[in-house]
Chain A
Amino acid sequence: MRERAVQQRVLPGGCPLWLIDRPGAGILSAKLWMRGGSSSDPSGQRGAAQLLAGVLSRGCGELSGDALADLVEGCGAGLRSEAAEDGTLISLKCASSDAEALLPLLLVMVRRPWLVDDQIDLERQLNLQTLQRQKEDPFQLAHDQLRVLLYGDGPYGHDALGVEAELKAIGKPELEQLARSYGRSGAVLVLAGELPAEAERWLLSGLGDEAWPCSAPERQAGPTGLQQPQLACSNDDTEQLVLMLGASTTPLGAPHALALRLLHCHLGVGMSSRLFVALREEHGLAYDVGVHYPARLGDAPFVFHLSTSSDRAAEATRELLSEWQRLLDQAISAADLELALAKFRGQEALGRQTSSQIADRHALVLGHGLPFDFADQSLRDAAELSPEQLLTAARELLTQPSLSLCGPSAALKQAEAVWNAHSLSGAARG
């Protein structure tokens, strides 16, 4: 990647602005990351951050929801606002030549959202329907169930869309209060692509003389997870059994996080990855098998996932548990570590192809209070890690995984028996 000119500015009021110039394609991407996502949903209001994010584009400043949509869609642009666990992200992608009309929207959405009752009702209803429809997907069910095993009622314990009973009760006053908190725990704005010289002025032009009081996101402790092996089963009339085996681990940038990232590459990235080869190529147990390890401000989940035919439930459970156990028993070979490193580098290169990807990655690390060049530094640091350090990280963070199952009852019974007999369930300790 050639990031020719990177400039750092600060907007009036304190929000850091990063400008990454990549001329040529005439495309501009902007990402505004504000700390405070679903993990900051107020008590009894799970789903509030996502509901608010969705309503931001339904009217702001002088534009009604329709006028805003006319403007954005009329430019053929994309404008989205979404809450994730740790933050709310507003994304704009457009032709650079439309920047003057579109860039002002970002801060106006944050500072002057309309929050009209009628539009809140619509957005809430859509979110409730989506929550309902997601239950069609056995992977979603297993994932929701695992989340509770790993985080209980904690800040990471619910889907960003929320919890039905609480979401139903969230109204305009709650959203107004939440909107006022935008920026208080930190925010960062990243622009990447073909940058017009007046970009900074246009960003501010919708707010008049008003400054947005805001700070750079600081490094701070995020939500924690539970540390005890548990089992949860969901009875569903499917052909396959979905298995998710996972633990809550550690934040992005924490001491062992990079070692876990390399284990993730070793186990789950590409068709030469350990889980793919062991479970799919050698046993034909699954089509889809992999590892989920997202970047988080708090204790990130580290999850093996697999779906297999019901009649092979016992075998699949045994193999999945033994792959996890293997991480705790022995260090990976030097050759495997080298391969994991190559994948880590490859993923980094592939994740920097578009202006959106570049803006997104920088907004994420800056939003976590990490330095701008965190990804490059991680690449250098990763090359210094040894197999023993990966083993130490695993033994520190992966000793007590929980298992979430979703499928027909016969398969659940088989899988449960294998789990109960395995030392990872705590059987040997009991």
Chain B
Amino acid sequence: MPASPGPSTPPLPDPRRHQLQNGVSLVQIELPEAPVVCLDLWCRAGSACEREAESGLAHFLEHMVFKGSERLDAGEFDLKVEALGGNSNAATGFDDVHYHVLIPPQAAPEALDLLLDLVLQPRLDGGDFAMERQVVLEELAQSEDQPEEVAFQELLRQACGSHAYGLPILGRREALEAHTPEAMAAFHRRHYRADRCCLSVAGPLAGLELEARLNQSPLAALKPSEPQAALPELQLKPGRDRIELARLEAARLLMAWQLPGAADQDSVMGGDLLTTLLAEGRRSRLVEQLRERLRLVESIDLDLNVLESGCLVLLEAVCDPEQLPAVEQQVRQVLLELIEQAPKPAEMERAKRLVGNGYRFSLEVAGSVAAMVGNSQLWGRSHNLQRPLEWLEGWSSERLSREVIPLLHPDQAFCLQAVPA
């Protein structure tokens, strides 16, 4: 079977790229059938950019942005965007942060003006700051009440050592309590700069003339950043630990491995293929062996987290506490067998179809298209939408065995057992 869905599929639209005079990049994708336009502003200002005392500041700033700018009152942005029939949200990761708006096409120009004003000229009012800190602390408390999240945080803390990927994006409570609007403004000034920002737009764009509009916007006024040290490469530390957690009902086996960073997109595709082969669907090796045949687990998942300083593959198996040793033993065995013997052609084909379709299905939505091309552009990757499918085809069983599978050796992992207290 061919790995692409067949000859009837039209070619994927090509991104149009443009650079403002100050170096800010703009990437646009025309999706004429989409009911909404997605405006997605990306910035290299994730939690990994924080200094020691700045713990949680990148995410806290993302909250504060919605508290208004010099021109917009707190809540005014949401009110205007939502009255136009749109909605907005934002997400802070380890590497970057992005702010996005989904909006009917005719309202897109106005929404763009509002978005740029809001994100690039936040007011950071002291009273709002104190109030929003409460909200962030509630968010932290909410996540601490989910024992599974606590277990994952502990896995990353131990596996990533001193690297930023081991620290919580939400921040440490004491640090959050000590932050000031001035420190946040300094963080904003340092990172929200011309060469660290990128705007991505996807949807029905005919007649929007975004380029002309952008030349008059705060985006065009951004200055370049001061030279900054590059993020250190992740050096995941193999090891193991066992913790007891209150309120846990089922035990967890969590494991973490490191793969090459996002800059190597071809290899990211290999990682995607491998995690799919191992743990997506009943006929994947881990699910078949541990859930279907031996019936040791309620579920077993393997996720690829694409990150700039090194991708993380995270495994989670949910099981009865008594089964933990057997589960770990079996995971180990499945991985060692795969290292011994290259995947069979049918397995490769199956994984390629799943990954290829998953990718194509995600292109149905303007929001995910904008996020995909926006993130790539932000980090200086300018492949078109077709390219990942070509990379996918380039992975043979032998190449996967040579280049990626050995990286998931069980001895390379950090392994955490979490059991009910």
Contact = CB atoms under 8 A, between A and B. Distances in A.
Nearest to A75: B353
- The 7 A-B pairs with the shortest beta carbon distances in the complex, nearest first, are A76-B353, A284-B134, A95-B5, A97-B6, A76-B357, A287-B139, A271-B78
A361 interface: no
Interface string A231-269: 000001111100000000000000000000000000001
Interface in B321-346: 346
B153 interface: no
Nearest to B319: A129
A402 B267 CA distance: 54
Contacts of B146: 136-137
Contact of B8 (A65, A134, A194, A283): A194
A307 interface: yes
B35 interface: yes
B137 A309 contact: yes
Contact of B35 (A96, A125, A137, A349): A349
Interface in A14-73: 22, 24-27, 65-66, 69-70, 72-73
Interface residues of B, number: 73
A309 B360 contact: no
B144 interface: yes
B371 interface: no
Interface stretch (B84-92, B187-195, B235-243, B305-313): B84-92
Contact of A286 (B34, B138, B145): B138
A122 B292 contact: yes
18 contacts: A24-B33, A66-B282, A69-B283, A74-B346, A76-B356, A76-B358, A129-B318, A237-B246, A238-B145, A240-B138, A272-B82, A281-B131, A284-B133, A285-B134, A286-B135, A287-B139, A339-B79, A346-B85
Interface stretch (B362-370, B380-388, B395-403): B362-370
Interface stretch (B176-184, B216-224, B247-255): B247-255
Given A69-B283, A73-B282, A271-B78, A133 B142 contact: no
Nearest to A97: B6
Given A24-B10, A271-B66, A271-B75, A129 B36 contact: no
Contacts of A236: 247
Nearest to B8: A26
Given A236-B247, A238-B145, A349-B85, A74 B1 contact: yes
A237 B104 CA distance: 45
A93 interface: yes
B79 A272 contact: yes
B353 A69 contact: no
A136 B292 CA distance: 24
B326 to A, nearest CB: 15
A284 B135 contact: yes
A329 B376 CA distance: 52
A284 B138 contact: yes
Nearest to A128: B298
Given A69-B282, A74-B353, A136-B148, 20 more contacts: A26-B6, A27-B360, A75-B1, A77-B357, A95-B9, A96-B5, A97-B8, A122-B292, A133-B298, A236-B247, A283-B131, A284-B138, A285-B134, A309-B141, A343-B85, A346-B85, A349-B85, A350-B36, A350-B102, A355-B364
Nearest to B76: A272
A387 interface: no
Contact of B365 (A2, A282, A353): A353
A95 B357 contact: yes
Interface residues of A, number: 70
Interface string A348-384: 0110111100000000000000000000000000000
Given A24-B10, A73-B354, A309 B138 contact: yes
Contacts of A95: 5-6, 9, 357, 360
A270 B34 contact: no
A129 B84 contact: no
Nearest to A286: B138
A136 B143 CA distance: 12
B349 interface: yes
A270 B87 contact: yes
B324 to A, nearest CB: 14
Interface centre among B10, B83, B144 (most CB of A within 10 A): B83
Contact of B364 (A122, A283, A285, A354): A354
B281 interface: yes
B50 interface: no
A410 interface: no
A125 to B, nearest CB: 7
B125 interface: no
A288 interface: yes
B388 to A, nearest CB: 14
A75 B350 CA distance: 7
Contacts of B320: 129
B30 to A, nearest CB: 13
A342 interface: yes
A353 B364 contact: yes
B393 interface: no
Given A286-B138, A288-B142, A136 B247 contact: yes
B358 to A, nearest CB: 7
Contacts of B145: 138, 238-240, 307
Contacts of A22: 33
A3 to B, nearest CB: 11
Contacts of B349: 74
B283 A352 contact: no
A376 to B, nearest CB: 14
Contact of A277 (B75, B135, B295): B75
A339 to B, nearest CB: 6
B407 interface: no
Interface string B273-288: 0000000111110000
Contacts of A134: 249
Given A25-B364, A238-B145, A271-B88, A1 B5 contact: no
Contact of A27 (B84, B346, B361): B361
B109 interface: no
B141 A240 contact: yes
A130 interface: yes
Interface string B111-143: 000000000000000000001111111110110
B83 to A, nearest CB: 5
B137 A342 contact: no
B350 A74 contact: yes
Nearest to A136: B249
A93 B281 contact: no
Nearest to A406: B145
Contacts of A338: 83
B36 A272 contact: no
Contacts of A138: 145
B245 to A, nearest CB: 9
A424 to B, nearest CB: 24
B1 A136 contact: no
